Structure 1
Amino acid sequence: MSQSLVKNYIHIVFSTKHREDFIDEKIENELFSYITALCKNLEINVLQIGGTDNYIHILCSLSKKIALMKLVQEIKAHSSKWMKTKGKAYENFFWQDGYGAFSVTEENVFYIKNYIKNQRQHHQQIHYKDELIGILKKHKMKYDEKYLWD
Structure 2
Amino acid sequence: MPQSLVKNYIHIIFSTKYRNDFIDEKIEKELFSYIAIICKDFESSALQIGGTDNHIHILCLLSRKIALMKLVQEIKSHSSKWIKTKGKRYEDFFWQEGYGAFSVSEKNIYATINYIKNQREHHQNQSFKDEMIGILKKHKIQYDEKYLWD
Q: TM-score, normalised by structure 2?
A: 0.99
Task: Find the counterpart in structure 2 of residue 57 from structure 1.
Answer: 57
TM-fit CA distance, 1:7: 0.1
1:148 CA drift (Å): 1.0
> What is the match of residue 77 of structure 1?
77
Deviation, 1:144, is: 1.0
Task: Provide the C-alpha distance between the structure 2 equivalents of 1:72 and 1:62, rounded to a whole number of angstroms.
Answer: 11
Equivalent-residue separation in structure 2 for 1:27 and 1:38 (angstroms): 17
| Aligned match of 2:103 | 103
* SS of 2:32 mapped into structure 1: helix
Q: Distance in 1 between matches of 2:65 and 2:14?
A: 22
Length, aligned pairs only: 150
2:117 & 2:97 partners in 1: Cα distance? 24
**Structure 2: tracts of 5 or more residues without a match:** none
> What is the TM-score with the length of structure 1 in the denominator?
0.99
Does 1:114 find its partner at 2:114? Answer: yes
Which residue number corresponds to residue 126 of structure 1? Answer: 126
4+ residue runs over 6 A deviation: none
Tell me the CA shift for residue 147 of structure 1: 1.2
For 2:125 and 2:90, the matched residues in 1 are separated by 27
CA shift, 1:16, in A, is 0.1
SS where residue 36 of structure 2 aligns? helix
Report sequence identity in percent: 76
Shift of residue 3, structure 1, vs aligned partner = 0.5
SS of structure 1 residue aligned to 2:64: coil
Deviation readout 1:56-103 (Å, 9 max, x if unpaired): 000000001100000000000000000111110000000000000000
1:138 shift after superposition = 0.3
Q: Give the distance between the partners of 2:112 and 2:64, measured in 1 at CA.
A: 22
Supply the RMSD in Å over aligned alpha carbons.
Answer: 0.5
Residue identity opposite 1:123 in structure 2: H
